Each structure stands twice: as C-alpha cells, then as structure tokens.
Amino acid sequence: MEFLQWKLESKTAIITIDRPPANALSSSLLEELDELLKELETNKDVRVLVLRGEGRFFSAGADIKEFTTVRSSSKFVELAKRGQQLFERMERYPKPIIASIHGAALGGALELAMACHIRIVSDTAKLGLPELQLGIIPGFAGTQRLPKYVGTSKAAEMMLTSEPISGVEAVKWKLASRSYPEEVLFEETMKLAKKIERKSPASMKAVLNLLNYTKSAQFYEGVEQEAKLFGEVFDTLDAKEGIQAFIEKREPVFTGK
C-alpha cells in the first residue's frame, strides 16, 4: 500500500496514514483504507483497530487539489456517496475502531474520525468542518454525524464559522471520549485498545451492531440529501473561488453566485 501502513501489536492492528505533508485524504488513500478494512475484518488475529496519522497531523482533510480535476456536479455526488459508503461501513464494522487524533482532524478527516467507534485526542488537536471557508459543504456525512455528538447548535456554529475546537473542547462536547497531552496520546490509546482486545469477539460484535440502531431513518435521508447538495454547491462560482483561494493560500472573495 502506498499511503497506509499497518502492523499487529498483540491483538490490535495499528493503521497509520502516511501521506506527507498533511496526510490529505485522496481518493486513492480512501480506496486503500477500504481494501485494508476488508482484509482485517477476516483476520482472526485482529480484534481491535487503531487509526492514527504519521507526522504532524492525524489528517488535515480531503485532498482539495483533487477537486479541481472533477468537472461535473454528478461526479461530485458520486464522490460524496463513495465516501459516505466507506464511513458507514466503518461505523458498522464488527471490530472496534479507535481514532487516535493529534495535530488536526479537519473536514474529511473529522468525518473519517466520526465514523470510528471511539475517538481519543491530544489536548491541543484541532477538530472541525471548515468546508464553508472554501465555498463548499461537508460531503462524507459530516453534516449528519456532527450534530449527533455535539448537538445541533454547536454543529451549526462549527460549520458556519469554519472554526475548529481543541481536543479538550472535543471531550467537553462529547465529540471525543478522552484527551491527553500529545506526547502520551498514542501510549494511552494503546492501553485502551489492549483493555478492549481482551473482550469476547462475539460480544464486541454484538454491541457494535446494536449501537447502529441508535441511528434513525432521518439520518440516512440526511446523508442522501447531503450528497445531492454537495454536488450542487460545486456548480457555484463561489465554490470555484474558494478552492482556488485555498490552493493559492489567500482569503476567498465570495460573491453569492
């Protein structure tokens, strides 16, 4: 695999995102993740998965430069649906997946983390959905999962302002379960993973399956609508301006068109 590494420690598979400099989530990386999840699901030696990032970040988000190569709104809808399907698969995965988040988990990276069963964060990590800063919207079910954790008001604030919250705040808002100083984050994550891996695989699978019943039919309607609007927004001039401004490292000038 080009962008993912994994190793087995005891009964925990440690998956590392390794795509310098910011571990951006390209289509190829997400395809690799999908394939790896299929492989580990049937691996009897693996009981728990830990997902982490190499370098400074868990992941700074989607590969924005990739967006400039997509030419139609229907292709953006397809892109959104592929991401949604992968993250839904993760949420329904029969083995616990723990996200160990340091540095930043922004945009698609936070959507990825929210699809994991447990999130452990560094105190100073930045978590957010800043897509509106680019004139676009979250497309991998972020608009539906974020309110489930932090509530509608806080989710609206985070998305509409594009401002992230810290790891400490993420615990306060129930977006993460624990936060630690960055230097001990991975060690503490592995302590948790090893505590979980001693449980019965059948019992863990049953609990993870039952947790999915907490999602309503409205959640899936929202995800479908999100993909549709994700495509429509990319047809606007503001989206093109926002993406170009991001690439050029300048503030976008939105005109409402």
Catalytic residue among 32, 39, 41, 131: 131
Radius of gyration of the chain from Cα atoms?
18
Between helix 73-91 and helix 217-233 the angle, nearest 10°, is 150
| 257, amino acid identity | K
Instruction: Based on the residue annotation, tell me whether 35 is a catalytic residue of this protein.
Output: no
| 2, amino acid identity | E
**The Cα angle at residue 116 between residues 91 and 86, in degrees rounded to 5:** 50
Give yes or no for a contact between 108 and 206, defined as CB atoms under 8 angstroms apart: no
Instruction: Based on the residue annotation, tell me whether 111 is a catalytic residue of this protein.
Output: yes
How are beta strands 126-128 and 165-166 bridged, if at all? Answer: antiparallel
Helices (H) and strands (E) in the chain — how many of each? 11, 9
Q: Compute the distance between CA of residue 254 and CA of residue 233 in angstroms, rounded to an integer.
A: 13
Catalytic residue among 32, 111, 169, 226: 111
Q: 165: which strand partners?
A: 127
User: Annotated active-site positions, please?
Assistant: 111, 131
